[in-house]
Structure 1
Amino acid sequence: MATLTSLASSQPPTSRTPSDKTLSKSIPHFISVLQKSLSIKELTQIHTQLLKSNLIQDPLIFTKILSSYSSLNLQSALQLFSSLPQRNSMHWFTLIHGCSLSPTPANSIFLYMNLIEEDPFCLNSLIFPSVIKACGKVSAGFEGTQIHSHAVKCGFVRDIYVQNSLIQMYFGCGRSKDARKLFDQMSERNVVTWNCVIGGYAELALWENVIYMFKEMVGVFSVIPNSVTLVRVVTGCCRLGDIEMGKWVHGYVVDNGVPLCLNLGNVLMNMYAKFGDMEEARRLFHEMVERDVVSWTTLISGYASVGDIGVARVVFDEMPVRNLVAWNAMIAGYVHNGCFQEAIFLFEEMQALDVKTDKATLVSLLSACARSGDLFTGKVIHGYISKMGINMTVDLLHSILGLYSKCGDIDSAELLFNKMGFKNEISFTLMMEGYVTCGAKEIALDLFKQMPHKDVASWNALITALARHNHFNDALDIFEEMQKMKVKPNSLTLVSTLSACSRVGALELGKWIHAYIDRNNIKIDAQLSCSLIDMYAKCGDVELSHNVFNKMPHKDLVSWSTMIRGLAMHGHSKVALEYFQQMEEFGAKPDAVTFLGVLSACSHAGLIEEGKYYFNLMSKTYGISPTAGRTL
């Protein structure tokens, strides 16, 4: 290590040194101050006071200030470290540990190398965890492996803290197999060890492994998890969509009396909200002793996602403190539920209260304007972005481009598109959609050919846009071209193409798509099932439509309504009415679309009395206005 100028080179005169009694009273004060979070300016001022009072000579004081400098300013820490006439293990540990916690943890590795060269006898088991964790933070796998070897040679690798840090390091470097191998070889493991493995898998998004290790932890080895473990496991359940496992973990928390701390309460609330169980999410909210903005925001987003936007607004209004995330959640909730004007009003309220916006706020608002066709307000927001000098990220540019394309202002869209320095598949796709919307189908097709790279989303967007604007044959031509280019369609491609098939009566192509789905083991979800049911019915093969419906493991309102309309369309009125009764028995609540099919069945069969009965059922029992289905 290079010799640096010492910060403590000049000592104050002996005559001004405080008495031992005064020093002993000052030491606790300075230790207390140094334990606080300080700026480099504050730390320098304290250091100056310590030099003047000669308190810098106290070993504990010296260690504390060295630790503070290590995490704030390496140059100052090195200067202080160089002033030492003799260094010990604690000095090296303090310096290396502080650097490992700083924004530049790689410096810990360099310091460790200096330690090996200059003071190898100062090496101890305390130093290894800090430098090993630093290797993990900067993905220094090669250096981490070398230090692992040093720990083996020095006999420190048996230390459980060293082993835990090695597991974290290997996960941090993406070497999960090495981490797991080390874990399996450990003779002693504690809850921190299990957390290192579970947390490592979580960082790599290997959620199946997270759940497996948790089951091993509590089921096989009977290790009691803490809140850190449980937060990661519940997160894994959310990411995997495994609500049953999530409920089991919640049950484990309750049965074993695990305290519902803030993070655990929030993540459990989020899990139930994600899966639509707002009753349980609300119960957990009230059960939590401590709540923060995340707790409130989770409720807002949850209620908005299940369509209870009014309740979401009540929760928002009841919040004791709101941050930008809460405002954004409420605005996004309005947009998600089609309450576009309310989203804009809330933005105006933000402005009145001088709440600063961010990219997420503006993206939601531009989406509201695009989806509602409110070009004027969208242009005002575009002007606001320019006036405030907000950084034009790619996401924000695409939101503005989408606004102009969807609202039919193709001139503004072209101007923005041509100014964009960076264009990707989304940029081209938005322009194509804009041209199709404005009736310039040929320009859209030419632009599609010019795209340097086409992903499946680009093909989907063009097929969907063409089908939406009644260019069904063109949509089918693009799908056939997609097959020739050997681009693998996804569920959205197939749904859009089946819609086009149903509109032009392309039964054979529809059958081919159905066979393609079966041949490639594509999961037939509710949306794809409904598209097949609708396609077969509109193409005249109600029997195949009926077969798809019967194979559905879970039938939702849309699938029931689609089947009822298909049966009514082909004169199977009695069967359609029987299906309606079955639907009610299964607990599905009919909507205007369902009743449109039911009344159509009555009309086709001349069932006047039945028609009156279902009309009254619609309007009086279910409270659906007779005009609700006019636009269908």
Structure 2
Amino acid sequence: MKTVPRAPSPELQTVKALSRLFPPSPGSAGAGASCRKEVFEVLAPHLPQWISRPKAAPTAVLSALARERRADLAELVLIFMLESGVPVDVYHCNSVITACEKGRNWQRALELIGEMPRMRVTPDEVSYNAAISACEKCGHWQLALGLFGSMPGARLTPQEISCNAAISACDKGGQWQLALALLSSMPALRLAPNRVTYGAAISACSRGSQWQVALDLMNQVSVRTDPISFSATISACEKGGQWHLALGLLHEMPQVRAVPNEISYSAAISACEKAGSWQLALELLSSMPDVRLAPNEISFSAAISACEKGGQWQIALLLLSSMPSLSASPNVISYNAAISACSKGGQWQLALGLLCSMPGLSLEPSEISYGAAISACGQMCGQWQIAIGLLRAMSEIKLSPHEISYNAAISACEKGGQWQLALNLLSLMFEARVAPDETTYTAAISACEKGGQWAVAVSLLGEQSAESLNLLVAVRQQKLEEQHFMT
């Protein structure tokens, strides 16, 4: 007996009609106020039903638009309701705020919270939870905490969802201390932390390189089988240089029925990379298909970087070339690691080849890409022309060379007997407010010595060192002020 397909509900038909009229367009603001006439024409036939059933029908339409991340259309529907005399309640407003949250429109989510009283609607816990989550998704941890802290004043009791979103906001904002403070405050609020709570707190500790605290949190029974918490703790150990603990956690996961994922393996591979154990990194990478995991860009990049640190430029290039066949697209990080591997291996031609091939793959070389290629030229005598050319190319594409790039170019000039160019580059560093370091002066002085410019070398060692010290202090003070302003 054939099953007769059910006709879509009137609410679903309305949503489809609106989506056809205003299809989502990446990078655009969607249906704006200028489109309200067309939206109102679609909704007008449903007005009698919406007035008679103000809760069911409009809520279904708004909820469907929220699932589709169409905050633009959801807000126009809400305006239609207000102007047409359809009673608006907290469920309608929450659906629009949720649409803003899913669409990462945190500003509008906050505005709606403030506008609800004028609609004679009182925000509830769901309203605040959605707004907190909107701020969290966009990295505004201060706003998220502000909303969380204002809930008691609005006679609202924070829920587990509220705490989880606030802790996750602290995680993304690098505020691990605040994340732990929120976690510790939950019992006083009669809230029980769950896997999501601990996962967000552990992730915050990972970003803050607090591997000991992350391990303590992992001892909670409720998260001992959670793959997300395991991955975050492995990452914390990786950042803390505890590669043996990272591998131990990875091997423990199957024993407690926590299924490792790509994030778990990538973090463990990165831990091996930081420990200089390229063999272990490759072993982990090659074992991923055995547990039905496909290595991704992060896994490969970490393994290539491990080979770079281990001086295995041939293997690094082999891994890079094998990525497309394994459905992993090389990214800027992958190429940077491979270029650096060639640089350390003295393969300046290969390093330049990789750098030049990046635009053809729609990859924009970064300061690190150019710095590694310039370093490759600095390793070989006589390649100072290419090093200078790369340094100039950076300025043409509005990339700011850092001290590593300048040092490599000065070193190339030193090896090529170009002491005048070496001094010119040193003066350019001062103009660009890039503080020379010991490596800079060592290469510049060596260039002067090889050119028989002993007086210049002595003068450089004395007078310019004081100027460099003053600039270094000024730059560091500026960075401290910027960090203070951000916090």
TM-score by length of structure 1 reads 0.59
Please state if 1:455 is matched with 2:389: no
AA partner of residue 523 (structure 1): L
Rg bigger for which structure? 1
Q: Does 1:438 align with 2:380?
A: yes
1:159 aligns with 2:89: yes
Which runs of structure 2 are paired with 1:207-606 in the superposition (5 Å)?
A: 207-218=141-152, 220-290=153-223, 291-320=225-254, 321-350=259-288, 355-385=293-323, 388=326, 390-420=328-358, 421=360, 422=362, 424-426=364-366, 427-439=369-381, 440-451=383-394, 452-456=396-400, 458-466=401-409, 477-478=424-425, 480-481=427-428, 484=431, 489=433, 493-494=434-435, 497=437, 500-501=440-441, 505=461, 506-514=464-472, 516-517=474-475, 521-523=478-480
Whether the 8 Å CA contact 1:243–1:275 is kept in 2: the answer is yes
Q: Does 1:93 align with 2:11?
A: yes
**Structure-to-structure mapping, 1:103-142, within 5 angstroms:** 115-123=42-50, 124-132=54-62
* Distance in structure 2 (CA, Å) of the matches to 1:213 and 1:165: 18
Greater relative contact order (Cα < 8 A, sep 6+):
2
Alpha-carbon distance in structure 2 between the residues aligned to 1:337 and 1:416: 26
Contact 1:202 1:210 in 2 (8 A): yes
Could you say which residue in structure 2 is the equivalent of 1:147? 77
Instruction: Name the aligned partner's letter for residue 93 of structure 1.
Output: E
Residues 278, 360 of structure 1: alpha-carbon distance in 2 compared, 3 angstrom cutoff:
closer
Determine if contact 2:183/2:193 at 8 Å carries over to the other structure. no
- Closer, same or farther: CA 271–522 of 1 in aligned 2, 3 Å: closer
Q: C-alpha displacement at 1:105, in angstroms? A: 8.2
Sort the Cα spacing of 1:176 and 1:418 in 2 relative to 1 into closer, same or farther, 3 A.
closer
Say if 1:335 and 1:343, in contact at 8 Å, map to a contact too: yes
1:50 is paired with a residue whose SS is coil
- Partners of 2:81 and 2:426 lie apart in 1 by 60
CA offsets 1:416-437 (integer angstroms, 9 cap, x no match): 4444414634244442232123
RMSD: 4.0
Deviation at 1:167, TM superposition (A): 3.0
Match of 1:16 in 2: none
- Structure 1 partner of 2:458: none
Displacement of 1:181 in angstroms is 3.5
In structure 2, give the amino acid aligned to 1:50.
T
Unmatched runs of 5 consecutive residues or more in structure 2: 446-460
Q: Name the CA shift for 1:173/1:514 in 2 (closer, same or farther; >3 Å).
A: same
Counterpart-to-counterpart distance in 2, 1:322 and 1:101: 39
Residue 454 of structure 1 aligns with an amino acid whose one-letter code is K
Residue 363 of structure 1 and its aligned partner are, at CA, apart by: 0.9
**Cα shift readout 1:70-112 (whole Å, capped 9, x = no counterpart):** xxxxxxxxxx34xxxxxxxxx323545799999x985999997
Deviation at 1:263? 0.9
Distance 1:125 1:384 in 2: 56
Question: 1:297·1:329 contact (CA, 8 Å) conserved in 2?
Answer: yes
For 2:63 and 2:411, locate their aligned partners in 1 and report how far apart those are by CA, in whole Å.
Answer: 54
Find the residue that maps to 1:322 and give its secondary structure: coil
Q: What is the CA-CA distance between 1:235 and the residue it aligns to? A: 1.9
Shifted more, 369-378 versus 402-411: the winner is: 402-411
What does 1:42-57 correspond to in 2, within 5 Å? 49-51=2-4
> Deviation of residue 512 (structure 1)?
3.2
The secondary structure found in structure 1 opposite 2:222 is coil
Residue 145 of structure 1, CA deviation: 4.6
Q: CA deviation at 1:449?
A: 1.6
CA deviations 1:538-561 (Å, max 9, x no partner) are xxxxxxxxxxxxxxxxxxxxxxxx
Change (3 A) 1:479 1:166: farther
Cα 1:100/1:214, change in 2 over 3 Å: farther
Cα contact 1:479–1:497 (8 A) shared by 2: no
| One-letter amino acid of the structure 1 residue matched with residue 56 of structure 2 | L
CA distance in 2, matches of 1:169, 1:353: 37
Change in Cα spacing, 1:359 to 1:242, as seen in structure 2 (3 Å) is closer
1:406-455 alpha-carbon deviations (Å, 9 max, x no partner): 32212323334444414634244442232123342331112222343132
- 2:186 partner SS: helix
Q: TM-score when scaled to structure 2?
A: 0.75
